Each structure stands twice: as structure tokens, then as C-alpha cells.
Amino acid sequence: MEIILEDFYYGKLHPNELVKPNNPEIQQLNRKIADALQKLQQNLGDRDLEQLEKLLELQIEMDSLQSALSFIQGYKIGALMMIEVLSGGE
């Protein structure tokens, strides 16, 4: 437990890097996305591809922010649960 707390303190704890999507649904969606992007790359011109890349970068940034907010909210809920359990409240 000390290693986790030390990593947390020094900012070395990155839960998002520990997640390995073994879920078949995620793998299937990733394949579909890759296939769709490949088709778009074949059919779009350079200007349209550049706009698509910018859009995808914005979507990745949004997803990252949403993941961070969800993580923080989950952490807060977990802490509140512990407070409730430890205080014996109902």
C-alpha cells in the first residue's frame, strides 16, 4: 500500500494507463473506427482529411477531460461511501 501512496504523492499514479481494454465490444468498436477512418482517408482530399484530423483531436481532448471528471467524481463518491460506512450512518 505504501508504494501506491508514494506514487500518488509524487504524481506517478496514472490509472488510465493501467486500463487494458480486453472487452470484446471495445475491440470490435476500435476495428470499426479504424476501418471507417481508412475508408475516409481513401475518399477524402487533403484539406478534408486535415479538418477530420482536427475534429478527431478535439474529440480525443473532450473524451480525456470527461474521463478525468468521471474519475474525480468516482473518487469523491468512494470517499463519501467510506465516510458513511466508518461513521455508522444510514
Return the ∠ at Cα 58 (arms to 52 and 59), rounded to 5°. Answer: 90
Residue 89 confidence (pLDDT): 62
Domain that holds residue 39: 24-87
Residue 4 confidence (pLDDT): 79
User: How far is it, in rounded angstroms, from Cα 5 to Cα 8?
Assistant: 5
**Cβ-based neighbours of 44, under 8 Å, separated by 6 or more:** 52
- Asked if residue 77 belongs to a domain, the reply is yes
Residue 90 confidence (pLDDT): 63
Residue 28 confidence (pLDDT): 94
Q: Are 87 and 31 in contact (CB under 8 A)?
A: no
pTM metric for this prediction: 0.65
> Domain tally for the chain?
1
Q: Are 13 and 4 in contact (CB under 8 A)?
A: yes
User: Residue ranges of the chain with pLDDT lower than 50?
Assistant: none
- Asked if residue 32 belongs to a domain, the reply is yes
